[in-house]
Amino acid sequence: MSPKKGEPVAPPPGRDDYDVRYGETAAVEGWREVGNRAPGNAFKAWELMRTNPCPKEQTERHHQLKFDLAYREYKGERLPQWQIEVTGGGRLWYLVDEDRRRVWLVYAGLGHPKATD
């Protein structure tokens, strides 16, 4: 989904930041929903994805997924998949490409992703 007139412009990454991009079309609408319902948490999560997507000290709210979900094949590469809990049920899932300093947002939603059911 392409941005439209009147929609916000995402700033480019800073010098040492990761470039956060949509990795799935559904993540575009999901991100809007998360931003509308929990704007403060969405902003904090966006900052984490830009500056520290893979923290050495993981928490219950920000961690690499486990087992079959820990890595995902994306554009021919196996990338680690992480999660940030933005609300009680809301989640962001993203892939981290360290070589390109890029984060791919692949799921954003206010409910648990179906893959964890």
Domain range list for the chain: 19-110
What integer pLDDT is reported at residue 10 of this predicted model?
Answer: 79
Please give the backbone phi and psi of residue 29, each rounded to the nearest 5 degrees, phi first. -70, -40
pLDDT at 50: 96
* Domain 19-110, CATH among 1.10.1510.10, 3.90.1170.50, 3.40.50.720, 3.30.2310.20: 3.30.2310.20
Per-residue confidence (pLDDT) for residue 13, from 0 to 100: 87
Which residues of the chain fall short of a pLDDT of 50? none
**Residue whose pair of structure tokens reads 């892939």 in the numeric block:** 95
Specify the pLDDT at position 101.
96
Q: How far, in Å, CA of 55 to CA of 33, rounded?
A: 26
| pLDDT, position 92 | 97
